[in-house]
Amino acid sequence: MKYAFWPGCVALGGTPELYQSTKLVLGKLGIEVEELTNATCTGAGVLQEKNRKLGDTLNVRTFAQAEQMGLPIMTICSTCQGTMAQAQLAVIKDDGYLADINKDLAAEGLEYHGETVTKHLLWILVEEYGLENLKKHFVRDLSGLKFAPFYGCYLIRPSDALGFAEVPERETSLERVIESTGAEVVDFKGARACCGLPILFINQNNSLKMVATHTGTAKDLGADAMVTPCPLCHLNLDGYQGKAAKKNRGSAVDLPILHLPQMLGLAMGFTPKELGMNKHMVSTSRLQEQVVSPAGV
């Protein structure tokens, strides 16, 4: 298995532990990746506010780069995945629009033919790698731990761009991957809610209320950690959890927020430090103690 890898700006910036843990986990799984070093930011829907077509053009440019490599694209960010899926849907259903965009890519010798698809690592594990194969690499039993899923808006909405009708298992993919580690899924409404990051600077009160509500609810339901496939959610849920809890609950929530590959890495027997769990704002030390020593490692 080989993919053209687009880590996204946040995995390359504010959450280096996501990049670090992804690389370890992919190596263990034997999934090869070639990084798209010339891909741009997807625009995250923000650039699209100003110029939708420019956003689509930059994303199609990335698709074309992967197509030249003859590889499908792997993302590790819900926001990148959703934004790229929306761009792909826009050009797939409108040949004229695609031809128009391809004209702007010609200067770089690029052209997208609609062949390369973009999939989040979470989907790749469920749809292509297979959970049974994944489990073969787990050496630590995480049963006894409770993990709350947190998808990130763009990995679940709008469902038509994300192919839920064609691939229904995407809708519950995170719960299934959590279960595959032996951990228990905390069933809570917040799993598909918004983390509030897009309005963190615009309306911080509202943004922090979202963080406090979702982390607090998960914690009250017994979660030992929250697991997210979106580094933007991680920025808010981890980075601002302390402030949000103090302001809205009066006391700390102290719920560690794990990137999806960190949870997988724990099950695979990597040390918390190897997975960058020391780089979190909310301490992961209690969770580290709860994780039993790797069997046979």
Partner 1 sequence: MPATVPTKLKANLRVQRFDPESERPETFYQDYEVEVEDWFTVLDALIKIREEIDGTLSLRCACRASICGSCAMRVNGQAKLVCKTKLDSVWSPGETVIIDPPGNMPVITDLVADFKPFWDKIRQVQPYLQPTGPEPVAEYLAPNEDMVHLAGVMNCIMCGACVSDCTVLEVDDRFIGPAALAKAYRFVADPRDGKKKERLEALNGDTGIWDCTRCMQCVEVCPKDVAPMERIMVMRDQAIEEGFSGTVGARHTESVYNSVKRSGRLNETRLAIESVGVMNIPGQLAMAPVGVRALLKGKMPSPIDHKIPSKDAVKKIVEKSEETSK
Site residues (vs partner 1, CB under 8 A): 9-10, 12-17, 37-41, 43-51, 53-54, 57-58, 61, 104-105, 107-108, 153-154, 157-159, 189, 193-194, 196, 198-199, 201-203, 205-207, 209-210, 213, 239-240, 243, 278-281
Residues 6+ away with beta carbon under 8 Å from 71 = 2, 3, 4, 34, 116
Report the nearest approach of partner 1 to the CB of residue 176 (Å): 18
Output the smallest distance, CB 172 to partner 1, in A: 13
Identity at 180, one-letter amino acid code: S
Cβ distance to partner 1 smaller for residue 142 or 233: 233
| Nearer to partner 1 among residue 133 and residue 159 (C-beta) | 159
Closer of 72 and 231 to partner 1 (Cβ): 231
Looking at the Cβ atoms of 43 and 72, the one nearer to partner 1 is 43
Whose tokens are 């951990």? That residue is: 183
| CB-neighbour burial class of residue 41 (10 A; exposed 0-12, middle 13-18, buried 19+) | middle
Q: 28 vs 209, which CB is nearer to partner 1? A: 209
Residue 52: CB minimum distance to partner 1, A: 8
Rounded to 5 degrees, φ, ψ at 207 are: -60, -45
Give least dist CB 173 to partner 1, A.
17
Q: Is 233 helix (H, G, I), strand (E, B) or coil?
A: helix
Looking at the Cβ atoms of 231 and 269, the one nearer to partner 1 is: 231
What span, in angstroms and rounded, lies between the C-alpha atoms of 67 and 271?
36
User: Residue 223 — φ and ψ, nearest 5°?
Assistant: -65, 140
Judged by phi (left if over 0) then psi (alpha if -120 to 50, else beta), residue 156 lies in alpha
Q: How far is the CB of 143 from partner 1 (least distance, A)?
A: 27
Q: How far is the CB of 135 from partner 1 (least distance, A)?
A: 28
Question: Measured at the alpha carbon of residue 44, what is the angle toward residues 76 and 254, in degrees to the nearest 5?
Answer: 60
C-alpha distances in angstroms, 32 versus 5, 115, 146? 9, 20, 31
